[in-house]
Amino acid sequence: MTDLGQPLGRRTLLTTGGLAVAGAAGLTLGTAPRASGAPALVSRRLTLPSGVQSGDVSTRSAVLWARSSGPGRLVAEVVSGRKRRTVRGPWATGRSDLTAKIPLRGLAPGREYAVELAFEDEHGRRGERQVATFRTGSEREEATSFVWTGDTCGQGWGINPDLGGLVGYAAMHQTHPDFFVHAGDTIYADGPISETVTEPDGQVWRNLVTPEVGKVAETLAEFRGRHRYTLLDDNVRAMYAEVPVVAQWDDHETTNNWWPGEVLEDERYTQESRVDVLAARARRAWQEYMPIADPRAHRRGGGHGEGFAPARIYRKISRGKHLDVFCLDMRTFKDPNTPGLEKERTHILGAEQVAWLIREVSRSTATWKVISADMPLGLVVPDGEVNQESLANRDDGAPLGKELEIAEVLSSFKRLGVRNTLWITADVHYCAAHRYDPSRAGFTDFDPFWEFVAGPIAAGTFGPNALDGTFGPEVVFAQAADRPNQSPRAGNQFFGHCDIGADGRMTVSLRDLTGAVLWSTDLEPEPA
């Protein structure tokens, strides 16, 4: 891509770049859509009912996303400084649930970009226009920050108009991060959302509802409807328009605690009980609605690079001199949840992903290597009364079963001299800071590291979970629910914030629903 000019702040871009910013289309929380008295031609224009997004923004690439109200071609006006160019993307049709993406390559590192997105109809007429802004990662010694969390609209706690909707997203947005990592459970396809929920203290929680969220998702249309539901929220759309997303998936995008080959014994699933069929539909819907590279674009030679291969969720996002982010996929290659100890080696990442993670992290020249995992490494997460969902197997001794892959990763990092790694995760519905140390571990061939747990951002709060001592975790801080499945109204909703200074020093904080800092630590990078 041609250099698009000198960097400007986001506000400057929006006010001087000549871009028209339209309000978010679609349902307003707590009210019905307003009838339009505009002429017929205007009323038929294509709108953007789910807002606009950018995602996987690296030093030189990004992915743009939008959904149309009808068939149309996605068009982007890309502005940086005084330069602009028009990029015409693919057609949004019913085959993609009217979603479309444009991969951008050849961007300049450390630049602010504003992109006006709209859909053209078959006559070339553009409809509603909205702006997505983002900053590419800098290859210089510059400061950067990000937020992360997981678990959106779970346990029946949906968009509550009485409380302002999904206000945790507004709290994250107010920290002005350079990007947002959603570490999994972006939807709860297995969790029906009803109009009201009576809380233990008698208060009534009121949900915005749509037809697709009233039952467990089984059809492709129902999985898609779950993603559309989240994007009805004003807070989510506002944040996604200004903060690039790095998305992962975990179990609830399909169904609770699933693994490949599983057949459900759940009477709620009346149309389809084969998890492989459900997961294929879930993955297609997730891929359509997340601002990540479309695998089809790679087959056409139009992908945006950065290590994202066709049909592969695990990937690296290069954010410049101080930061590389490595997203894991701990669901696609997972072996079954089993009772007791797994004495033989089983999979949580799979051999190919293990090799990729060791190779890419060891090659990274960034100051910090942040590994975003679907679930914590040392917490015991049960699946029913006897099975284990987690890779931790409730035994403090040597690695067994799924733990063996993590042991291989950690020992390889030590052998290869990798410095300054830390792990972030969600999944367990409370926040915590864990310090892993071989001096108190059943397995000792690794260097000490931190793991930070955040979430939920809009779901029931639980915890704390029991520790497994194989990798020597210590709970340095934790805040959990007052009772199981505590309502978000109580405020025990959590996200993490990471701030890296121009000198490479990192501050990690765990925050609540209001953005208040509950705990923080300063980390000094070790020399390579």
Whether the link from the prior residue into 71 is cis, omega within 30° of 0, is: no
Mean pLDDT, rounded, for 267-272: 98
Asked if residue 445 is part of any domain, the answer here is: yes
Work out how many domains the chain is built from and give that number.
2
Candidates 321, 291, 327; CA nearest to 424 is 327
Which residue among 116, 135, 154 closes a domain?
135
Which residue among 135, 156, 172 closes a domain?
135
Q: Do strands 112-120 and 130-135 pair parallel, antiparallel, or not at all (unpaired)?
A: antiparallel
In CATH, what number is assigned to the domain containing residue 227? 3.60.21.70
Asked if residue 4 is part of any domain, the answer here is: no
- The tokens describing 188, both together, are 């709860």
Instruction: Give per-residue pLDDT as tens, 116-169.
Output: 999 999 999 999 999 999 999 999 999 999 999 999 999 999 999 999 999 999
Higher pLDDT, 301 or 159: 159
Q: 335 and 283: one domain?
A: yes
Q: 119 and 52: one domain?
A: yes
pLDDT of residue 385: 86
Helix (DSSP H) and strand (DSSP E) numbers for the chain: 9, 24
Q: 185 and 103: one domain?
A: no
DSSP H or E run through 285: helix 275-289
pLDDT of residue 296: 55
Chain centroid, CA 197 distance in Å: 27
The answer to whether the beta carbons of residues 74 and 92 sit under 8 Å apart is yes
Q: 303 and 428: one domain?
A: yes
Q: 246 and 115: one domain?
A: no
Share of the chain above pLDDT 90, in %: 85
Residue 35 has pLDDT above 50, yes or no: no
Return the minimum-mean-pLDDT range out of 143-152, 178-187, 303-312, 458-467: 303-312
Asked if residue 1 is part of any domain, the answer here is: no
Q: 266 and 356: one domain?
A: yes
The answer to whether the beta carbons of residues 189 and 254 sit under 8 Å apart is yes
Share of the chain above pLDDT 70, in %: 88
Mean pLDDT, rounded, for 447-466: 98
Q: 90 and 167: one domain?
A: no
How far is Cα 490 from Cα 376, in angstroms, rounded to an integer?
A: 24
The answer to whether the beta carbons of residues 237 and 48 sit under 8 Å apart is no
How far is Cα 359 from Cα 409, in angstroms, rounded to an integer?
A: 10
Residue 29 has pLDDT above 80, yes or no: no
Residue 20 has pLDDT above 70, yes or no: no
Asked if residue 2 is part of any domain, the answer here is: no
Return the minimum-mean-pLDDT range out of 9-13, 129-133, 223-227, 290-294: 9-13
- The tokens describing 306, both together, are 């950065």
One-letter amino acid for residue 419 of the chain: R
Q: 209 and 94: one domain?
A: no
- The tokens describing 160, both together, are 């509550």
Q: 148 and 74: one domain?
A: no
Average pLDDT, the chain: 90
Distances in whole angstroms, Cα of residue 176 to Cα of each of 133, 242, 472, 493 = 12, 9, 35, 19
pLDDT bracket for residue 462 (50, 70, 90)? very high
Q: 414 and 507: one domain?
A: yes
Distances in whole angstroms, Cα of residue 29 to Cα of each of 90, 224, 229, 289, 303 = 31, 20, 11, 21, 36
Mean pLDDT, rounded, for 334-351: 92
Higher pLDDT, 120 or 1: 120
Contacts of 355 (CB under 8 A, 6+ apart): none
Which residue stretches of 341-479 are H helix?
A: 351-363, 403-415
Which residue among 76, 101, 135 closes a domain?
135
For residue 16, count other CB atoms closer than 10 A to its CB.
13
pLDDT of residue 41: 43
**What range defines the domain where residue 107 resides?**
10-135
Asked if residue 3 is part of any domain, the answer here is: no
Q: 120 and 150: one domain?
A: no
Higher pLDDT, 505 or 42: 505
Q: 121 and 189: one domain?
A: no
Asked if residue 123 is part of any domain, the answer here is: yes
Return the minimum-mean-pLDDT range out of 261-270, 297-306, 374-383: 297-306
Paired with 92 in beta bridges are 72
